[in-house]
Amino acid sequence: MPSDSALGVLLLSGSHDRAHYAFVVASGAAALGRRVVLFASNQGCLALCRDWSTLSDADRDGRIQARGVAGLDTLRDACVEMDVRMIACEAGLRAEALDAALLLPQVEVAGIATFLSAVGAGQIITI
């Protein structure tokens, strides 16, 4: 697949393991030169908050870092550095009663049509 082909990562879960792996996939694809759009909805939006400690099993981050695995902050920083486009679903924020002011400054708020348009004919994976 050509490196300019977009990859869409759809994060629906508010669990640390799924949020962590969404950022593993996003940063890995971006490192390979893929254009990546990470779209979080419902409890997945928690992973795009400045303070992601409300993810379920958030203390897992410390355990995996102790084992030499990159933590969520490291992966999110890498995504920002590699220009991964991060979108929080407007309806998902409302569904979870989350204020957009809690999000990382690099996160835009938009709907599913924006995500699908950004990915175009590229791949979409759901985590």
Locate the domains of the chain by residue range.
Answer: 6-126
**What pLDDT sits at residue 4?**
62
Residue 10: which H helix or E strand, with range? strand 6-11
Q: Give this prediction's pTM.
A: 0.94
Q: What is the pLDDT of residues 30-82, one digit of tens each?
A: 999 999 999 999 999 999 999 999 999 999 999 999 999 999 999 999 999 99
Tell me how far CA of residue 79 lies from CA of 28, 34, 59, 82, 98, in angstroms: 9, 12, 21, 5, 22
Q: Which CATH superfamily is domain 6-126 in?
A: DsrEFH-like (3.40.1260.10)
DSSP assignment letter at 71: P
Rounded mean pLDDT of the chain? Answer: 96
Region 8-37: mean pLDDT is 98
Whether the per-residue pLDDT at 12 is higher than 60: the answer is yes
How would you class 27 by CB atoms within 10 Å of its CB: exposed for 0-12, middle for 13-18, buried for 19 or more?
buried
**What pLDDT sits at residue 5?**
85
Closest CA to 12 of 36, 43, 34, 38: 43
Helix (H, G, I), strand (E, B) or coil at 3: coil
Report the C-alpha gap between 2 and 34 in whole angstroms: 8
